Amino acid sequence: MKSLRIRVLVSFLATYLVVGVIFSLGLNKYVEQQYYNQKIEKMVQTGNQIKMQLEIAGSGSEARESLDYLGYRFEGRITLLDIRQDGAWILYENQRYIYNRGKLIKEIRYGGQTAFIINTDYPVKNSLWLGYLAQMDESKFALLEIPLLTIDETLEVFRSYIWKALAIGFLISVIVSYWLAKSITDPVAKLNCLARKIGRLEFDDSYQSRRTDEIGQLGATLNEITQILKDTIGNLQTELSKKQQLEKLRKRFVAQVSHELQTPISIISSYAEALADGMVGVEEQAEYYDIILDECQKMSKVVKELLELSGLESGLTEYKKEWLNLQGFLQNLIKKQEWILKAENKAIEDTLQAVWAEVDPFRLEQAIANVLSNSIKHARQRIRVILQIEAGQAVLKIANDGDFIEAADLPYLWDSFYKGKHKKKGTGLGLAIASEIFKAHQIKYWVYNDDNSKEVIYELIFPAIEKSPEQSI
């Protein structure tokens, strides 16, 4: 990138130097010639004015006054000559400059007119004068002369100014060219760095600039490409992750099904063989058939729950959320458990505050019912359900007075098929299904043993409001 900056800088400076050299070479020829041309043109105009004055005033004192005035404006020497075949006479000369006639150096032509440069000893030796002879009539001529010392001084001042201007311009051009090179190369360097990061699949940076020129447009295009690549690769990674997750779930599902169905299949096989071999009496056959039917129902339940869990874990399950009054929701859920409580001689105490939350009612009932069912199953006599608002969040506690869960079992209680040391009836999938539903609702959940109340408590925390959405508006 440094090479590009140097190239831009050198190119700009080289162009300036070439222009400067051409300008300086043409300075002596063009400017000096142009200056001579202007003076000759002034001499021609002055000659015409003298001719006009002579025609008007003649050759008296009035004519001399006019010639003195013209000589003053002309800033040079005016000599009026009468040249005839028998000689030449000086009719008028102003006394501003007096010198002896000198040597002709060269002639200068401009606009059909001819001027000449004369070398004289006035005011110093080898002084140069610019002269022009203007014809008044057949015999009268006006000799106009300007000292070239004034011209040379003017040209020298002009040359000095030009060289200073070129030097200052050179310094300015160095600064401007450096700034120009930097303004081009710095954005290009940033774009190159950004392109390298894109090549390494790093999409966190973007090109930031207010430029609207081609470089700014290139940066905007690169940003657009970066975002497209980022989204595309992100989608591909998501799809790949889903595919890997589905494959993992498939293998896990097969392994779990094989494990869970092994026992009931063995039981069914044994009882079916006994029936087929006629080893069971007529009175015992009904009992054998009941056992086979019970094991078949267990297998059906395991398969259904495994399919349910696999769908939840894959992220393919759709949730239809709506605002729900958790107080009424829990009251209905508790009411559905009354027949189980009566059958097992257990009771539920509930303290429910009016709370609203945005949830999928069907999925949330499925999850909390599994937790509540688990608490009822392990309780001795009493289950407590408490719902209240704490710090802007709904806190739901489902407690039972059953045996404490072993500390080693607590971290794994939400895993599939985990039943702990105190195995009871069930597939071991209920809490695993509840866990996936809670995660989808961003509900915090855990279980712990409370030494104060001597209870096992399942605690759920999720965002909620105390009023219905319609009342809150």
pLDDT at residue 1, rounded to an integer: 44
Task: Tell me the pLDDT of the chain averaged across its residues.
Answer: 78
pLDDT at residue 431, rounded to an integer: 84
Of 303, 260, 296, the closest CA to residue 417 belongs to: 260
Rounded Cα–Cα distance for residues 87 and 101 (Å):
17
State yes or no: pLDDT of 185 exceeds 80. Answer: no
Pick the residue with more confidence: 271 or 448? 448
pLDDT at residue 473, rounded to an integer: 44
What are 434's two structure tokens? 């509840």
Helix 61-74 and helix 32-57: axis angle, to 10°?
170
Pick the residue with more confidence: 258 or 345? 345
Band of residue 230 on the pLDDT scale cut at 50, 70, 90: confident
Q: pLDDT of 156-183, one tens digit each?
A: 777 777 778 778 877 887 787 777 777 7
Query: Residue range 360-387: average pLDDT?
Result: 90
Band of residue 82 on the pLDDT scale cut at 50, 70, 90: confident
Rounded Cα–Cα distance for residues 126 and 123 (Å):
9
Report how far apart the first and last C-alpha atoms of the chain are (Å, whole number): 60
**The pTM is what?**
0.43
Which of 157-171, 260-274, 346-360 is modeled with the greatest confidence? 346-360
Q: pLDDT of 57-79, one tens digit each?
A: 766 677 777 777 777 777 778 88
pLDDT at residue 447, rounded to an integer: 92
Query: Residue range 431-436: average pLDDT?
Result: 84
Which of 111-115, 320-324, 428-432 shows the lowest per-residue confidence on average (mean pLDDT)? 428-432
Structural domains of the chain ordered from first start:
2-160 (3.30.450), 215-314 (1.10.287.130), 322-472 (3.30.565.10)
State yes or no: pLDDT of 456 exceeds 90. Answer: yes
Which of 28-37, 243-252, 266-275, 429-438 is modeled with the greatest confidence? 429-438
Q: pLDDT of 374-429, one tens digit each?
A: 899 899 999 999 999 888 788 999 999 999 988 888 888 887 666 655 555 555 67
Residues 6+ apart with CB under 8 A from 331: 350, 352
Q: Show the beta-strand stretches assigned E in 53-191.
A: 77-84, 87-93, 103-110, 113-120, 127-135, 140-147
State yes or no: pLDDT of 26 exceeds 70. Answer: no
State yes or no: pLDDT of 99 exceeds 60. Answer: no
Of 159, 226, 163, 147, the closest CA to residue 193 belongs to: 226
